[in-house]
Amino acid sequence: MAHEHHHPHHHHGSDVGETRLIWALLVNVLLTVVQIVGGIVSGSLALVADALHNLSDAGSLGVALVARRIAKRPADALRTFGYQRAELIGALINLTALILIGLYLIYEAIIRFFNPEPIEGWLVVYVGGFALLVDVVTAMLTYAMSKHSLNIRAAFLHNVADALGSVAVIVAGSLILLYGWTIADLICTLLIAAYVLWHGWSEIKHTIRILMQSTPLDIDLAELIHTLENEEGVRSLHHVHVWDIDEQRRSLEAHVVIDPEDAGKIETIKQRIKQRLADRYQVRHSTLEFELEMPDSAQVCLVEPCHDGVCGPLRPEYEQDGKHAHAHRSSRPLLLVLSLLSVLTGLGLRWHAVGGNWRQWLVSMQAPHGWHTNEWIAYALAAVFLSAFFFAGGKDTK
């Protein structure tokens, strides 16, 4: 069996970079506190919405800072690939919280629409202006590092988008002052919530793909197999798996079938395959097991150093790919139906709990703290089915 194990240990910048991250984290925490206080005093839900979003930004910066230090630890016998995925786990937690915050903001915006409260426009403008200043400072602190790190670049873009959100808050306060349009606060809240949900969902899909060891989005597995099978000396490939180890590294394992007369050229064939993987697919960590094709086309012999060949049947694994893909696509409507049924079940349970009274049902829907456990379970199942629906859609568009 041929192996190639490359475990690069990246040191993610100097202490100066970590100091900048710490300052960026501190100013975001300060901004969050100021916005929450300002939102409560002024009655502006948009300020509270932007504050919660900035709190998630501070959490993301904290995760980046911790992961930056953990990533410096070398691989060991317990974690042979190193500690890079700690950052992905932290990102998954932060993004999940971000999505929940977005949903909560929509809920609060709807409740505020039916129960409006007075808003102090000038305070909204002042705090929004301060938020814009902090967002610009944070972006400046992370800009240099964003050129060399995908995660820091994501944090940088996050702050640029937050600056746009702060502009939206300032616009809402100005409209309230000039024209008394209190609904502008509601619209800004919904826009911020929409951005939070869009950003959280788009990022969490990529994180889940890596943690689930999915085939990278830019690699067509069938095309990769076809390319490698066209390499000189290669008869066929099977048991092919390719996945992202982390954001920077990819891995592949495969069984390579060659002619018996090419047994002495295994090292040459192996190096040619690895070069192709590195140049075309950016795969620099691969494990290849070579097999000899016997005269009987249904048999192969495993090539093991210092041992006789061990023969067995050759069973290609990808001849059913079309059927599997069709089955995968056909599951999406079922997931959507299950999600809708779960939502209807939750609504029906609430209807039953209030004895079928329409007015009481509307009022109780605005007080989720009074909902029963089985209702929360129904909505949780709806969220799970809907997440699976969108995740399946992401795989279909690969």
Residues 29-57 have pLDDT tens digits of: 887 887 788 778 777 666 676 677 677 67
* Within-domain flag for 371: yes
Global pTM reads 0.62
Q: Cα–Cα distance between 63 and 93 in angstroms, integer? A: 10
Q: Check: CB of residue 297 under 8 Å from CB of residue 310.
A: no
In 3D, which of 332, 333, 330, 336 has the Cα closest to residue 383? 336
Q: Is residue 303 part of a domain?
A: yes
Does residue 172 share a domain with residue 43?
yes
Tokens of 309: 């060949």
**pLDDT above 60: residue 273:** yes
Whether residues 117 and 194 share a domain: the answer is: yes
In sign, the C-alpha dihedral spanning 226, 231, 232, 234 is: negative
Let me know whether 51 and 102 are in one domain: yes
Tokens encoding 337: 């139906």
User: What pLDDT is stored for residue 276 in this prediction?
Assistant: 94
pLDDT class for 188, splitting at 50, 70, 90? Answer: confident
β-sheet bridge partners, residue 256: 237, 290
Judgement on whether residues 148 and 17 belong to the same structural domain of the protein: yes
Which of these three, 263, 285, 313, is where a domain ends? 313
Q: Give me the pLDDT at residue 41, please.
A: 79
* pLDDT at 69 (0 to 100): 79
What gap in Å lies between CA 39 and CA 220, rounded to an integer? 49
Residue with tokens 């809907």: 386
pLDDT of residue 286: 92
Any domain includes 243: yes
Domain that includes residue 344, residue range: 331-396
Q: Is 142 in the same domain as 244?
A: no
| DSSP label of 200 | H
Please report which helix (H) or strand (E) contains residue 293, including its range: strand 285-293
- The torsion of the CA quartet 230, 233, 237, 242, rounded to 10 degrees, works out to -70
Same domain, 207 and 241: no
The confidence score (pLDDT) of residue 33 equals 84
CATH number at residue 248: 3.30.70.1350
Q: Quick one: 13 and 115 in the same domain?
A: yes
Structural domains counted in the chain: 3
Q: Minimal CA–CA distance to 255: which of 202, 292, 295, 296?
A: 292
- For 303-330, give the DSSP string: --TTS--EEEE---S-TTHHHHHHHHHH
Q: Which carries the bigger pLDDT value, residue 214 or residue 356?
A: 214
Please indicate, yes or no, if residue 320 is contained in any of the structural domains: no
C-alpha separations of 183 from 115, 120, 195 in Å: 12, 13, 19
Show which of 160, 191, 211 is a domain's final residue: 211
The answer to whether residue 216 sits within a structural domain is no
DSSP E strand boundaries for 161-244 = 236-244
Instruction: Judge if 63 and 204 occupy the same domain.
Output: yes
Q: Other CB atoms closer than 10 Å to residue 18's CB: what's the count? A: 16
CA–CA dist 55, 61 (Å, integer)? 10
233 contact partners, CB below 8 Å, separation of at least 6: 258, 259, 262, 265, 268, 269, 272
Do 206 and 226 lie in a common domain? no
362 compared with 15, residue with greater pLDDT: 362
* CATH classification of the domain holding 156: 1.20.1510.10
Domain-embedded: residue 322: no
Residue 111 lies in a domain: yes
Q: Which two tokens stand for residue 53?
A: 């979003």
DSSP state of 4: E
- Do 198 and 116 sit in the same domain of this protein? yes
Distance CA(138)–CA(316), nearest Å, equals 53
Same domain flag for 233 and 132: no
Domain boundary among 313, 346, 381: 313
Whether the predicted pLDDT of 296 surpasses 50 = yes
345 within some domain: yes
pLDDT score of 242: 95
- The closest of 246, 216, 207 to 90, measured between CA atoms, is 207
Query: Which amino acid is present at 128?
Result: G
Q: Are residues 226 and 123 in the same domain?
A: no
